[in-house]
Chains A and B, each alone.
Chain A
């Protein structure tokens, strides 16, 4: 009888914890040895960090596995053995190239991979990412982060970005929502032009939803849509980019955590805020 995924993960966690403890012992022994070189210390330290990152990774998988236990959500559909959801989402975000809504990523995953990622999962995914970052900022090469508002540099939780992107790509200025809308549309068109028939037909709906100028029921001409999107983008992108670059300079003055997760949002006081509370 096969074991549940969470049991397998627990066993791997026990093994990696043992390895971590042993690596830590080696590091401490080297520290105590006055003849140990810096290179040896550095290598031992790297081994500890690698195992620590591996343990964090397994813990995330365990969280996901428990979340998907059959007794909680019906029949187990088995993401075990597949890539973690966060990595799939990071890939999707990279393909679209700009901060996008969970719904678009979800639609894009269904269309291109046939993979169901409910938009409702993104809230907990983003919170898990932030917690994991706070535990060990170097544990992963890239994090799923929120987009950052250029005015005030606070997070925009409902737009998904990647920490690997340059800061100005993660920032949202006055015209950026429209610019990103057009860029996402162009990314969908690009994908459609290189994809097989199944993916191409699955992408027709999101493309139609993004090309809002098309009359209802009009036949979709991808070249015309791309031409119109590029023309509009050309007229608004430069000014938007300048705004984002200026905001990026301010963003880079903040602590590394605030650069990725945004500054805490301020609540303004004053006359208008004396509202009656709900509940």
Chain B
């Protein structure tokens, strides 16, 4: 009953827009910038930033990834998962993580009818994927020795506001002796060890952490209590060997990523109440004027993951927010609130400093400016 009440509240907030699954990428996006109320609001109601940019603000669709990167990613993944995931299995054997006998593979999309453009058939197909995933996870949780060692594209859920939001991690892995599974995130980024783009690695880790959260929810439903022990915050990244389509395996600790996600998810119900309180009765987010009222928290890193970054940056510029200069300026100039006020404090103009923090900032800025004048 609660779910349906929440559902109708969410549908009302969504207005004319259809629901979308945020997926692992959408959930990890929230954890990247938990202070952005607009992003949280859209995630709660089930609208992606790309849809919001296109449908609500009428901005031309911006590709999230280059078509070349997408094609390479798809090819890399296909290469690993084709032929009953033979290459992925080999990768784990070579790493000493699976023995010859641990060769049980389940390919979830193969166990269900193909995806269809007909909404009813689509629901049946997704329902089958979900049922097959639950059956296999339950088998592992019960210690069934026929439980797969690798599950490709399982369909799992992360609960937000009492509703399961579907995610499909690339794969799950467990040796026979393991209590439960851990997520595998496949990325076609070249693995350059310490020189791999840290933003790419962070993003992959956050997506893997969504898998950890979903696995913990699943095993909790099966009656486990020590979920953190059964599903430690560890995930495997499968990256590409530079210059080839071969894969490389890296295990990553995801403690902080999983914790920040769980925190973001725990805070969500409060946000729905806050969100409704913030808007006029009957208002919905498909109206650009309404969406504009919801505060954002622009950061330079937003452009890495959010299609609304450009829009938010324009608003941040108009409001003189220090964040547009960079994340360091955002922290440093926080006592001033705006770039204009910071300039006033530096130049000793306008209203004198009102707080001790403003006094300290004014001194710091004036000192830095003097240094600059001397140097130039």
Contact = CB atoms under 8 A, between A and B. Distances in A.
A186 interface: no
A210 B87 CA distance: 9
Interface of A: 101, 103-104, 123, 149, 151-152, 154, 156-159, 173-175, 177-178, 180-181, 209-210, 212-213, 216, 232, 235-236, 243, 265-268, 270-279
B259 interface: no
Interface in B74-129: 82-84, 86-87, 89-90, 93, 100-101, 103-107, 109-114, 119, 122-124, 126-128
A136 to B, nearest CB: 25
A209 B112 contact: no
Interface stretch (B158-166, B192-200, B301-309): B158-166
A156 B19 CA distance: 30
Contacts of A272: 130, 134, 156-157, 164, 218, 221
A229 B110 CA distance: 24
A243 B3 CA distance: 41
B344 interface: no
A213 B86 CA distance: 9
A175 B103 contact: yes
A235 B101 contact: yes
Nearest to B86: A212
Contacts of B370: none
Contacts of B127: 267, 273
Given A212-B90, A265-B128, A181 B84 contact: yes
A180 B19 contact: no
Nearest to B3: A274
Nearest to B131: A268
B46 interface: yes
Indicate the member of B7, B113, B156 with the most A CB atoms within 10 Å.
B113
Contacts of A273: 127, 130-131, 164
A276 B130 contact: no
B249 to A, nearest CB: 14
Contacts of B3: 274
B297 interface: no
A100 to B, nearest CB: 9
B122 A278 contact: yes
A156 B111 contact: yes
B105 A177 contact: yes
Nearest to B218: A272
Interface of B: 3, 7, 18-21, 46, 82-84, 86-87, 89-90, 93, 100-101, 103-107, 109-114, 119, 122-124, 126-128, 130-131, 134-135, 146-148, 156-157, 163-166, 218, 221, 244, 246
B221 A277 contact: no
Nearest to B123: A277
Contacts of B164: 271-276
A243 B130 CA distance: 24
B89 A212 contact: yes
Given A177-B105, A216-B244, A243-B146, A278 B89 contact: no
Contacts of A181: 83-84, 86
B171 to A, nearest CB: 14
Contacts of B7: 276
A229 B220 CA distance: 40
A232 B101 CA distance: 9
B38 to A, nearest CB: 20
14 contacts: A157-B114, A210-B83, A212-B83, A212-B89, A235-B101, A236-B103, A267-B130, A272-B164, A272-B218, A274-B3, A276-B46, A276-B163, A276-B166, A278-B21
Contacts of B107: 177
A210 B90 CA distance: 11
Nearest to B157: A272
A232 B111 CA distance: 25
A159 B21 contact: no
A212 B122 CA distance: 34
A-B pairs with the 7 shortest C-beta distances?
Answer: A177-B84, A267-B127, A178-B103, A268-B131, A212-B90, A174-B146, A174-B104
Contacts of B156: 272
Given A174-B104, A267-B124, A275 B244 contact: no
A203 to B, nearest CB: 15
Nearest to A273: B130
A96 to B, nearest CB: 12
A267 B110 contact: no
A271 B221 contact: yes
B241 to A, nearest CB: 9
Given A101-B83, A268-B134, A236 B128 contact: no
A67 B156 CA distance: 39
Contact of A278 (B20, B131, B218, B221): B20
B166 to A, nearest CB: 5
A261 to B, nearest CB: 12
B11 to A, nearest CB: 10
A270 B157 CA distance: 13
A276 B86 contact: no
Contacts of B128: 265, 267
Nearest to B91: A212
Contacts of A274: 3, 163-164
